[in-house]
Amino acid sequence: MGTAASPFLNPIADELEGVGPTKPTAEALSRRARQRRQVQGMIGISYVVDALLLLVYAHAGTIPATIGPAFAICGLISVAGYILLSEIGFTERFRDHYFVMPQVIASMAIMLAFTYIAPEVGVMFLCTLFVVFNFSSLRSTPLQTAVVWTAMAFGLAWLFLLTDKPISMPHANYLERFATMTVFVLTIGRCMFLGIFSSTMRQTLYKNGLELKEAYKRIEELAALDELTGSFNRRCIMRMLDDEITRTQRTKATCSIALIDLDWFKRINDTYGHPTGDEVLRTFAITVFANIRNIDRFGRYGGEEFLLVLPDTPGDTAMRLLDRLRAIIADLDWSAFSPGMQVTVSAGVTTLRPDETADTFLARADCALYAAKARGRNRIVSA
């Protein structure tokens, strides 16, 4: 059993192709069947190469000339049988659609049988057992690996302890030495390939794990952000407010919030159009982000209304911060969007009281915002 194509060894590919509870698509089934054919092609080539080595031994007079063809026929029959099961879709009924265990056991049986039949070149078949075991361990579960190891141990015990076959390493003449050297070269080469691929697979798994973490992080960010403004969405900012209220009440700190509303925003949409209104919202959000602290939390509360959570901030400090923001917004050159455009904001600011809930906290901020609008807008009012 020789080297195999990478899909056989790569569990990530299987996950992407529908292994598990999700039913694989027709395209995935076709791709898996093609991969299995490639794997079996590599295994078949390996049997043929080993059979050619047996012919070299036969030419050296070590074994009968029939051993090589017989070995190739047995190996190719096992390959053909698996391909037949694959092509009719039988293997797709099982989670391990590569049939690792049946293939490994069949390969072990062939190697042990030919070690018994041709013990004069037993070293070749025993070396191939190393490759078979290493090959299977890359995809087998711990239980499967234990079963394969146990089966191999019993097979070797039968061969060495219950028979008197003179298992040999041919080296009597130059041709035998050449063939035996080739056996070791091929065995070491195959094991090296499996080791290199195992290392590559671990690196791939590590890289895919990092990419998956980044993807999850990005998904979480997108789920928490308002698509238009890039600020937190209502669900997220409300969760942050609840967390901050809990923290503030536990540590006896101070916390203020501000409900901010863009003045006459409906007029902006009606006069200049919704695309311009969207740009106004984005510019407003960017301006706020540029003028608040890292610990502050800013989110879209609804429509053109935004909530700013200010941890460890007393009421007078919050008023000064919001009034500075109000002046910055009013001083922006909004005419870049449309000549004559002016944008201002109003805000209601309040500070958390002992044992106050989020609902009453927001209600007081909303009352202050309503008062700011009633007094002519473009102003900040404290509850």
10 Å Cβ neighbour count for 300? 23
Backbone angles phi, psi at 326, to 5 degrees: -60, -45
Neighbours of 346 (CB within 10 A): 25
**Do 110 and 75 form a contact (C-beta atoms < 8 A)?**
yes
- For residue 286, CA distances in Å to 127, 309, 380 come to 68, 16, 20
239, 232 Cβ separation under 8 angstroms: no
Which amino acid is located at 319 in the chain? M
The predicted structure's pLDDT at residue 92: 80
Separation of alpha carbons 323 and 183, rounded Å: 84
> If we measure between CA atoms, which residue out of 46, 65, 221 comes closest to residue 125?
46
State the pLDDT at residue 12: 38
The terminus-to-terminus CA distance of the chain in angstroms comes to 80
Residue 150 structure tokens? 């146990």
Q: What is the pTM of this model?
A: 0.54
The residues near 240 (Cβ < 8 Å, ≥ 6 apart) are: 232, 297, 299, 309
Walk me through the domains of the chain, giving residue ranges and CATH numbers: 6-221 (no CATH), 234-382 (3.30.70.270)
Q: Mean pLDDT of residues grouped by 10 in the chain (383 residues)? A: 42 43 71 81 89 94 94 93 87 77 88 94 90 78 84 90 91 92 91 79 81 81 84 93 94 95 93 92 95 94 94 95 95 89 95 93 96 94 91
